[in-house]
A and B are shown apart, each in its own frame.
Chain A
Amino acid sequence: MSEQALNFMPSEGFRARAKDVVENPFLRQSFRGAMDFLINKRITQFPDPEELESLRTLGEQIRQYNLGKLPSLLVELEENLTRNGIKVHWAETPDEANAIILGICQAHSAKLMVKGKSMVSEEIELNHACEAAGIDAMESDMGEYIVQLAGEKPSHIIMPAIHKTKQEIAELFAAKVPGIDYTDNVDELIQIGRKVLREKFLVADIGLSGVNFAVAETGTLCLVENEGNGRLSTTAPPVHIAITGIEKIVEKLDHVPPLLSLLTRSATGQNISTYFNMISGPRKPHEKDGPTEVHLVLLDNGRTQAYADEQLRKTLQCIRCGACMNHCPVYTRIGGHAYGTTYPGPIGKIISPHMLGLEATKSMATASSLCGACGEVCPVKIPIPELLMRLREESFSAPHANPAMRGQGAGYSALVSTIWRGWAAVYRSPALYRMATWLGSRFGGLMPSNQGPWTSVRVPLKPAPKRLRDLLKERG
């Protein structure tokens, strides 16, 4: 199956992909170790539960305030970016976004693009589009560089190569990077990558990056990173193209520090990232460096669908820290690739249906025990379990007019709906419930030993021979 086909219908084969991972003890242990490491790093940054709680509340308020004003903020952002000399482009779909970016590349006869880390560029599959247009798009974030060399996709939004061991990376480098010998020394591996990339920054025609916060009042693009590759990608090449989703906007510069603090502490357990870039325009006439052109592509790709519904809008509060993945017992068991979507884990389950439709993603919302670990750590308090229940409802309800989501009813089954109606009929009626449970207690011994998926790893369920109400009667 090609990667594109995988991305198109991620629900197809989800269970099989998940099964492959859970049956691989090496991968299971490796993910567990990696997630434990990240969980522990985060918690050292939040020693005071009260401070954490008040920061999360502040983060939630800032995000909700800005989403509440999204349409007017986008206008303000465009005005101020334009005044600063940054050209703003609007893309409704991934195809439109790719066409805009390739158009800019072609106007400059670009042959080489270096990319800072950008999940939105993954979302639009920019690397495929560049390849088809004869442009060499090179990832410069170390993790992204590794997955690109391996011909894979990121398995985590912050740590793209978290699924790979150093030995695998060592073998990959030895096979793919010309002129190097095998080494699994991590420092040496990083130096190899660094050397390859340094040369590319100097000759690249285009630098591409994502955006963490776009500040409307000042027309500033903020970029959080640790490797300096973001700064090089946005300053060394003559043209910088930034791409982001329309929801990444804040009205005021004052909104940035609390969100930045929540982001780095939640994501990697860092007090602050090594680099924090604030981009407010191309090179000015008296300046000696920096790109001569800066573009921003603002992508919708289903975000306005989420925006239109009060509850689903909370999905857009996300600042992409990845803490929900690190703490998710499901992600920990199956890793990022099994999801088959650009964004894996809990946030992937709630954002992907807006991007790809419920038809393609209908099983994703079922892959949660609703344990609530994601919502508990979310730095902007997205009620992820609640949204998962809403998505289940959107998927399983009978198709109706004017749905809130594309693909509403994609998971509808007349049989399943009838079973639930029957269940409700019994459980809403004390008499029917009494009768049904009495039969269960009397004939519990006749319960089949094969109870489908339940008995694949558990003994069969059998009702007790006497119900609590029977025991209470006997007791008098």
Chain B
Amino acid sequence: MSEQAKTSQRPADVYFFATCVVDQFFPGAGLDAITLLEREGIRVHFPEEQTCCGQPAYTSGFPDEARKVAALQLTLFPNDWPVVVPSGSCAGMMKHHYPTLFAADPARKAQADALSSRIYEFTDFLVNVLGWQPEDKGGDCTVVLHTSCSARREMGVHLTGRKLLGGLNKVKVAQQDHESECCGFGGTFSIKQPEISGAMVEDKVKSLKATGAERVVSADCGCLMNILGHAAWKDKQAGLAQPSLPGEHIASFLLRRTEERSSK
């Protein structure tokens, strides 16, 4: 596709579905994602009534409860604009599981199908819709990228984050071992099987740290909550005052790197 063709398809308006985790736990990441989109000249609409995609109940074996919550989100995006979601996991829920969830309800199934085709994970939107090419204004820096399982296996967008980071001249992207392996979050899995989940996040943090990267970035805040939560717990055990593995949403990192007079 030529750059011109991309530009002509460039939407003037998008909806932003923040996800409940970003709204409550990583609001800065949401704001940075919105700021970045706006800087590209896109009007970003945040439907005030949005809550959660319903995934926690869905994956825990409570589809009726998930359906009730998902039904609310179905009504929030009336215009035919893309819906940008800063999380591969929640985007996957809306894109791939909503049509299944409403399979027995023809009216809502039609809504779900229509919505499904407009759902974009944030990095996917930047790369494949906007054709965005970041201009790096920061200094030398090494980061490591963690991609969520849903982004990788449901949304197939594990390459877009890498592509965006690869476009930053002074950023080196380190390669961790067992990159594609799950961090062990898995929603209620982390509570129901804490020993196994704990072993998984322990190994994940070890492999991320072993790269020597200054920070970890990810397009999924669920994973970040787990990975950074364990890294901070380890630091506390070791009596460290500074985080040994800081991390953030890829939107925050990209925004900072491409702002004027950025340090990192």
Let me know if B199 and A370 touch, CB within 8 A.
no
A374 CA to B98 CA, complexed, in Å: 22
- Partner-contacting stretch, out of B55-63, B127-135, B163-171, B211-219: B55-63
Question: Chain A residue with minimal CB distance to B180?
Answer: A373
Q: Which of B28, B180, B200 contacts A369 (CB 8 A)?
A: B200
Question: Chain A nearest CB: distance from B187 CB in Å?
Answer: 8
Given A370-B189, A423-B65, is A468 in contact with B182 using a C-beta cutoff of 8 Å? Answer: no
Contact A424 B27 (CB under 8 A): no
Interface segment among A132-140, A175-183, A454-462: the answer is A454-462
Whether A467 pairs with B60 at a CB distance below 8 angstroms is: no
Judge if B69 is at the interface, Cβ distance under 8 Å. yes
* Contacting pair B69 A424 (CB below 8 A): yes
A166, CB-defined interface residue at 8 Å: no
**Which residues does chain B contribute within 8 Å of A373, judged by CB atoms?**
149, 153, 180-182
User: Known contacts being A369-B186, A393-B63, A440-B24, is A428 close to B230, with CB within 8 Å?
Assistant: no
Pick from A28, A421, A454, A461: contact of B25, CB below 8 A. A461
Q: Which residues of B contact A397 (CB under 8 A)?
A: 61
Q: Within the complex, which residue of B20, B185, B225 is in contact with A427, where a contact is CB–CB below 8 Å? A: B20
Knowing A371-B182, A461-B229, the reply to whether A330 touches B196 (Cβ < 8 A) is yes
**Given A459-B229, A466-B27, are A427 and B191 neighbors across the interface (CB < 8 Å)?**
no
What residues of A have a CB within 8 angstroms of the CB of B68 in the complex? 424, 428
Report B-chain residues with C-beta under 8 Å of the C-beta of A330.
193, 196, 200
Q: Is the CB of A190 closer than 8 A to any CB of chain B?
A: no
In the complex, A396 Cα to B28 Cα: how many Å?
36
CB-defined contacts of A471 to chain B, threshold 8 Å? 27-28, 30-31
Measured CB to CB, the nearest residue on chain B to A32 is: B203
Cβ distance B74 to chain A, nearest Cβ, rounded Å: 11
The one of A395, A457, A467 that contacts B230, using a Cβ cutoff of 8 Å: A457
Residue in B62, B185, B202 with the greatest tally of chain A CB atoms within 10 Å: B62
Q: Quick one: which of B181, B196, B201 contacts A18, CB cutoff 8 A?
A: B196
Q: Would you call B226 and A467 a contact (CB within 8 A)? A: no
Question: Are A366 and B65 CB-contacts (below 8 A) given A430-B51, A468-B30?
Answer: no
Across the interface, which residues of B come within 8 angstroms of A365, CB to CB?
Answer: 61
Assess the A424–B193 pair: CB atoms within 8 A. no
Whole-angstrom distance between the Cβ of A19 and the nearest chain B Cβ: 4
A361-397: which residues lie under 8 A (CB-CB) from chain B? 363, 365-373, 375-376, 389, 391-397
Could you tell me if B199 and A421 are in contact, using CB atoms closer than 8 angstroms?
A: no
B26: Cβ under 8 A from any A Cβ: yes
B46 pairs with A454, CB closer than 8 A: no
Asked whether B60 lies within 8 Å of A392 as measured between CB atoms, the reply is yes
Bin chain A's interface residue count: 35 or more
CB of A472 within 8 A of CB of B191, answer: no
Contacts of A461 in B (CB 8 A): 25, 225, 229
* Chain A contacts for B225, CB-based, 8 A: 461
Q: Name B149's contact: one of A369, A395, A421 (CB within 8 Å).
A: A369
* Residues in A whose Cβ lies below 8 Å from that of B229: 454, 458-459, 461
Contact A457 B194 (CB under 8 A): yes
A452 pairs with B59, CB closer than 8 A: no
Does A430 lie within 8 Å of B61, measured CB to CB? no
CB distance from A72 to the nearest CB of B (A): 29
Contact call B233/A427, Cβ cutoff below 8 A:
no
Give A461 to B224 CA distance when docked, in angstroms.
12
Q: Within 8 Å CB of B197, what residues of A?
A: 369
Is A368 in contact with B199, judged by CB distance below 8 angstroms?
no
The residue from A389, A428, A475 contacting B61, defined by CB atoms under 8 A apart: A389
Interface presence of A469 (CB below 8 A): yes
A430 to B63 Cα, complex, angstroms? 20
Partner pick for B65 among A329, A424, A470, CB 8 A cutoff: A424
Contact in complex: A389, B58 (CB < 8 Å) = yes
Having A22-B199, A370-B187, one finds 19 other A-B pairs with CB under 8 Å, namely A15-B193, A28-B199, A329-B182, A329-B184, A333-B199, A366-B188, A367-B193, A395-B61, A420-B60, A424-B69, A427-B20, A427-B52, A428-B68, A428-B69, A428-B72, A454-B190, A454-B194, A458-B229, A469-B23
Q: Which B residues have a C-beta under 8 Å from some C-beta of A?
A: 18, 20, 22-28, 30-31, 34, 46, 48-52, 54, 56-66, 68-69, 71-72, 149-150, 153-154, 180-182, 184-202, 225-226, 229-230, 232-233, 236
Top 3 nearest A-B pairs (CB, nearest first) are A369-B186, A392-B61, A453-B194
Instruction: Report 17 cross-chain contacts, Cβ distance below 8 Å, ordered by A residue.
Output: A19-B195, A22-B199, A23-B195, A329-B184, A369-B185, A369-B190, A372-B153, A372-B154, A423-B57, A424-B68, A427-B69, A452-B191, A453-B191, A458-B226, A461-B229, A464-B25, A467-B24
User: Taking beta carbons and an 8 Å cutoff, which residues of A are in contact with B?
Assistant: 15, 18-19, 22-23, 28, 329-330, 333-334, 363, 365-373, 375-376, 389, 391-397, 417, 420-421, 423-424, 427-430, 433, 437, 440-441, 452-459, 461, 463-464, 466-472, 475
